[in-house]
Amino acid sequence: MALLKAHCNDRGVKNWDKLGAETQGLKSFGIGLTQLRKLAKQVGRDHKLAPELWKTDNHDARIVGLLIDEPKKLTREQAEEQVEGVDIGSLSHVFSSCGATLPKAPFAFDLVRDWIKSNHELRRRCGYGLLYELSKDRRNKELTDEFFLGCIKRIRDAIETEENWVKVSMGGALIGIGKRNKLLNEAAIKAAREIGPVNYSDGDTSCEPLDVLKHLTSDYLKKKLGT
């Protein structure tokens, strides 16, 4: 906490305070995610410290707690408890995707299968975030083309009626799956054409739609997959 306080960003604190009720009572030192990742590396992996930071009332401390945890020591119980409280700031992003610790846990595949089918919005959002991360894993034999084809179908069939941020997470997962190989790329492109750009909003502001098809048909990916 002293380390975080030493890197307090006054401008970031003001921006955090402007969020009002969206912070759900959490405090912040206003530190950006890039800086928090650097501080987490400085702290190093620590499964004992991680849950202690998670239990604080500080958003930045919780972020660091998620980043420094040890994948092999994570438990399903811990993940199920934490997912209930990630709907604040960038917590869900750090919890489930973009190099997160959780996708490296031994039970991550089971979480994906359960969470993308969950009636709980946050679990679905994080489930698809985890799915994006697992789409990059080439060693897990459970991650078959058949499994991913089933996920593509689920995304195609459900995305239109999904919640705002679940849609974005689904779109990201579809991009990740479509980068895996030629077969999945073709299936993901077909789904993306049916879905169209993924529209979503950030509060009262509409954001630029996520163009999944653009990502799946880039010249780089075509060359890489030989399509």
Tokens in use for 208? 């630029």
The domain ranges of the chain are 103-227
User: Which whole number is the average pLDDT over 11-36?
Assistant: 94
User: Which whole number is the average pLDDT over 166-175?
Assistant: 96
The overall average pLDDT reported for the chain is: 94
pLDDT digits (tens, 9 = 90+) for 207-224: 788 999 999 999 999 999
What's 28's DSSP letter?
-
pLDDT digits (tens, 9 = 90+) for 155-166: 999 999 999 999
Task: Tell me the C-alpha distance between 73 and 209, whole Å.
Answer: 38
Q: What global pTM score does this model have?
A: 0.93
Cα four-point dihedral sign 26, 27, 33, 37: negative
pLDDT digits (tens, 9 = 90+) for 42-55: 999 999 999 999 99
Question: What is residue 21's predicted lDDT score, i.e. its pLDDT?
Answer: 87
Task: Tell me the C-alpha distance between 12 and 199, whole Å.
Answer: 28
Full 3-state SS string of the chain: CHHHHHCCCHHHHHHHHHCHHHHCCCECCCCCHHHHHHHHHHHCCCCCHHHHHHCCCEHHHHHHHHHHCCHHHCCHHHHHHHHHHCCCCCHHHHHHCCCCCHHHCCCHHHHHHHHCCCCCHHHHHHHHHHHHHHCCCCCCCCCCHHHHHHHHHHHHHHHHHCCHHHHHHHHHHHHHHHCCCHHHHHHHHHHHHHHCCECCEECCEECCCECHHHHHCCHHHHHHHCC
pLDDT digits (tens, 9 = 90+) for 105-128: 999 999 999 999 999 999 999 999
